[in-house]
Amino acid sequence: MITAEAIKSKHSDVFTYLHGNLGSSAANCRVPADSCSASLVFVSDAQQIAQAFSHQPAIIVCLSTVSDSLKAANDQTCCFSVKVMPVGMATLLKYFDRKSARFTQWGQQHPTALVHPDARLGSEVCLGPYCVIGANAVIGNNCLIGAHAVIENDATIGARTVIHPQVFIGAGCEVGADCEIHPHTTVGGDGFGYAPGPDGRARKISHLGNVVIGNDVEIGSNCAIDRATLTSTHIRAGTKLDNICHIAHNCDLGEDGFYTAGFMMGGSTRIGRRFMTGGNSVVTTHVTVGDNVTLSGRSSVTHDVPDPGAYGGYPLQPLADAMRTAASLGKLNEIRKNLARVMRHLNLT
């Protein structure tokens, strides 16, 4: 729940108060068509504004470009404007997030949670059913550990981090403060490392390193982050991984990167700060990608990319060139036919 007065006093850097009852409070956030008198509603155009007003919600937040349409509001609804809607949503939706209730519904620590006597738990740690905390593991204050999660021996989890059900954190791995790791993700499985023996059969290379995750990192569901062979695989502070991403052994992901679904990378690759990529992109082994690089979806990186900028395609090109290449591919058969005619006309065939 949040009051209009709290929005005005705490978040004036994001929202501009327009008019209405600052005593209004919202207990939920809904789309305009489903809103009610206890709702906070985000609207982006005149049609949504009209739809919201028909339900008389407690609080309306509109884009500043359409704020003039709110002049006819009733006095009970409190109206704010925001310049960038996603920033407004990021600021306010957390007030309606009841995520902690999923973890605390059985009490602070479920009796089936298995905690090694040598593990160290901070204050207000929530342990869900059948979770496992290994020897010498350290769990920071106010962490939420979901059902069937496994935190192996010597692992460290920073304060206020959320580990969702069925997450695996391998031995010796480190997760920073204020992180969130979603279900079915593995942190610290062995990397894909083998050497052919004299008989031609693969010999497994043991992975003795770990994974180190910085503060304020979020990792989606069904991701796999491999431990290093001898050192550490790094995911640095502020990085966000979507679902179904694979980070290979010995990799280093710089601060504040955005990795969308299906991203894959080979081992021993380093990616700079503020990296952004569309879905299903691939970065090969043993390359370095510099700071402030953006990849379009389904791009493939097979060599170093030292310079900042937007890139796309395979082979990788500057984005403008990649878009022209993609547009040309649909006409490739026609181009070949026309070229064959020219060659015949010039008697070059």
Q: Catalytic pick from 182, 234, 246, 249?
A: 249
207 annotated active-site: no
DSSP letter assigned to residue 342: H
Residue type for 186, please? Answer: T
**CA–CA dist 307, 87 (Å, integer):** 29
d(CA 119, CA 34): 47
C-alpha span between 33 and 39 (Å, rounded): 11
Residue closest to 299 by CA, chosen among 273, 325, 336, 268: 325
> What span, in angstroms and rounded, lies between the C-alpha atoms of 231 and 211?
9
Among candidates 75, 23, 71, which has minimal Cα distance to 49? Answer: 71
Dist. CA 159–CA 150, nearest whole Å? 17
R_g over Cα of the chain: 26
Neighbours of 298 (CB within 10 A): 16
In sequence order, the β-bridge partners of residue 126 are: 144
Q: Classify the C-alpha dihedral 274-241-163-156 as positive or negative.
A: negative
CA distance 57 to 78: 9
Q: What positions carry a catalytic annotation?
A: 249
